[in-house]
Amino acid sequence: MELKRVVVTGMGALTPLGNTITEYWNNLRNGVSGCDYITLFDASKFKTRFACEIKGFDPISFLDRKEARKLDRFSQTAIAASDQGVQDAGIDRNNVDVDRVGVVFASGIGGLITFQEEVLNFGKGDGTPRFNPFFIPKMILDIAAGHISMRHGFRGPNFAVVSACASSTNAMMESFNLIRMGKADIIITGGAESVVSEAGVGGFNAMKALSERNDDPKTASRPYDKDRDGFVMGEAAGVLVFEELEHALKRGAKIYCEIAGAGATADAHHLTAPHPEGLGAKNVMIQALADADMQASDIDYINTHGTSTPLGDVAEVKAIVDVFGEHAFNLNISSTKSMTGHSLGAAGAIEAIACIMAVQNDVVPPTINHFTDDPELDPRLNFTFGEAQKREVNAALSNTFGFGGHNACMIFKKYK
C-alpha cells in the first residue's frame, strides 16, 4: 500500500509563554521564562513553590459558565487550543466530510485537580458518599478528545493516548499513521495537561523530581547546566491539525510543514530513570529517521526532551551523539522546557509546534538559564544557549520520553 503524505494545516496553543501561537513563538524566540511563583493554590508549605502556569486564562470567554463547571481545567484548555487550531486550519462542517475528521488527543494524567477536589470533599464529610455527578466525566483523560469532537461535530476516529510525558507525541504518531493509511482525511491532535495542584506538586516533590530553587524561579529550569536540580512543573495545551496532502491542496489550505516520520520505543529499564546510555532514546531516533527515509545528516535541529534532570539530560545527549555521529556537532540542539517548564503529557504537542515554527522561520529557539558547563556533556555540541540562532532548518526532530520508559519521536520538514 502506498502511504499518503501528511501535512500540518493548523495549530493552537495555550502555554506559560502565551495563549496564541504568535505570542508563544515570539516569547520562545526571545528567550522568555514562563516560570513564577504558584498562584493556582497556596504552595507556601511545599518544597517547590513555583511553576510555569498558563496565565490570563478565562474559560468563560469561550464557554458558557454552566458548561465550564462540567470541565476540568485540562479539558478547558484543550477545547480553547482546539478552537484555535480548527479556525487556523479553516475547517468547518461545510467544507469537510465530518465522518473522516478525527480527534486523537492526549494527557499524561487527566483531571487530577477534579480528582483531588472530590476526594478531599468526601473526606470532610461523615462518610456518606456525596460526589458531583460530573466527577468521573471531568476526571477521565479521554474526555478532552470527546469534548473536542462533540464541539465540532467530527465523527472520525476518536480516542485518547497516555504514555506519561510522551503522550502527545504518541497521539500525533497515531494521527499521522491513521491519515497516511487512508483511515481519515484530517485529525485534530495534541495534548493538554493541568496538574499544578497540591496533589501534582506534592506527588512530584515526594519523588524528588522537581527543582526546589525557590529563591530564583525564573532560572530554575536549567537543562544541560551542571547545577540543574530537577524539572519545573508546567501546564499547557497544544493542538495540531494533521491533514492528508491532496485533501489539503484540494481545499486550498495553508501548509505549515510536512510530517516526515515517527518512532516509538521502550527503555525496558526502570520505573522513572532513563537508560543510562540512552538506549531507548537512541533506538527511537533511529526508528524515526528510517520511517522518514532520511539520513542523520538531513536533520538541522533537535528539540530535546531536556527536562533539567541530572540523569535524563546526560542520557539523551549520549543517544544523540551515538545516532548522529560527527553530524551531532553541526546540529542545533535546544530545550524549550527551559522556558515553558515541563508540561508532562502536553509537552510533545507544544514542542512539536516549536519545531514547526523553527522550520517555518529558519530560527532555532534557545536553551536559557545556562550558567555552568556540565563536564559530562561534550562542549562541541551546540545547545543554542542564551539566544535564538538563525539557520536554515529544513528538518527538525522532537524527542519526548515518559516515566515507564516510553520514548516517542517525530520529524517535521519543510513542505516541498
Is residue 52 among the annotated active site residues? no
390: Cβ contacts below 8 Å, ≥ 6 apart:
362, 363, 364
DSSP string, 197-231: SHHHHHHHHHTT-B---TT-GGG---TTBTT---B
Sign of the torsion angle spanned by Cα atoms 185, 409, 337, 142 = positive
Instruction: In whole angstroms, give the CA distance from residue 360 to residue 208.
Output: 38
Q: Scanning the structure block, which residue is given the C-alpha cell 461523615?
A: 126
To 10 degrees, the CA torsion angle through 256, 302, 281, 196? -80
Q: Scanning the structure block, which residue is given the C-alpha cell 479553516?
A: 90
- With beta carbons less than 8 A apart as the criterion, state whether 395 and 300 touch: yes
Name beta bridge partners: 106.
161, 191
CA angle 401, 405, 407 (to 5 degrees): 40
Instruction: In whole angstroms, give the CA distance from residue 188 to residue 73.
Output: 19
Marked catalytic residue, from 35, 52, 165, 355: 165
Q: Say which DSSP state 91 is in.
A: -
Name beta bridge partners: 190.
105, 239
Catalytic residues: 165
